[in-house]
Amino acid sequence: MLEKVRTENPIIHCITNHVVSNFQANGLLALGASPIMGEAPEEAAELAALADAVSLNIGTLNSQSLTSMLIAGKKANAMGTPVVLDPVGAGATEFRKNAVNKILEEVNVAVIRCNAGELAAIAGADWQAKGVDAGEGDADIGEMARTTAKRLGLIIAVSGATDLVTDGERVAEIQYGHEIMASITGTGCLLSSVVAAFLAVHPKAHFEAAAAAMHYYAIAGELASRQAELPGAFQRAFLDRLAATGEGELDKFMQEKEGVLKR
Ligand X SMILES: Nc1ncnc2c1ncn2[C@@H]1O[C@H](COP(=O)(O)OP(=O)(O)OP(=O)(O)O)[C@@H](O)[C@H]1O
Query: Which residues belong to the annotated binding site for ATP?
Result: 113, 159
Binding of residue 181 to ligand X (CB under 6 A):
yes
Residues 156-195 close enough to bind Mg ion by CB under 5 A: 188
Binding of residue 164 to ligand X (CB under 6 A):
no
86, β-bridge pairs:
57
Sole binder of ligand X in the list 218, 219, 224, 242 (CB under 6 A): 218
> What is the secondary structure of 32-71 as a DSSP string?
T-EEEE---HHHHHHHHHH-SEEEEE-TT--HHHHHHHHH
Binding of residue 134 to ligand Cc1ncsc1CCO (CB under 6 A):
no
Three-state SS string across 139-173, please? CCHHHHHHHHHHHHCCEEEEECCCEEEECCCCEEE
Helices (H) and strands (E) in the chain, counts: 11, 10
Binding of residue 186 to ligand Cc1ncsc1CCO (CB under 6 A):
yes
For residue 179, the 8-state DSSP code is G
Kindly tell me which of 82 and 188 has the beta carbon lying closer to Mg ion.
Answer: 188
- Site map 64..103 versus ligand X, x via CB under 6 A: ------------------------x---------------
Q: Which one of the spans 28-36, 119-127, 129-137, 196-204 is the region binding ligand X (CB under 6 A)?
A: 129-137
Describe the chain by its helix, strand, coil percentages, rounded to 5: 55, 15, 25
In terms of Cβ atoms closer than 10 Å to its own Cβ (0-12, 13-18, 19+), residue 56 is: buried
Residue nearest ligand Cc1ncsc1CCO by beta-carbon distance: 59
Sole binder of ligand Cc1ncsc1CCO in the list 129, 132, 211, 213 (CB under 6 A): 132
d(CA 42, CA 45): 8
Kindly tell me which of 114 and 201 has the beta carbon lying closer to Mg ion.
Answer: 114
Binding of residue 99 to ligand Cc1ncsc1CCO (CB under 6 A):
no
Dihedral over alpha carbons 202, 203, 206, 210 (to 10 degrees): 40
Binding of residue 60 to ligand Cc1ncsc1CCO (CB under 6 A):
yes
State the residues that interact with ligand Cc1ncsc1CCO by CB under 6 A.
17, 19-20, 59-60, 88, 132, 185-186, 188-189
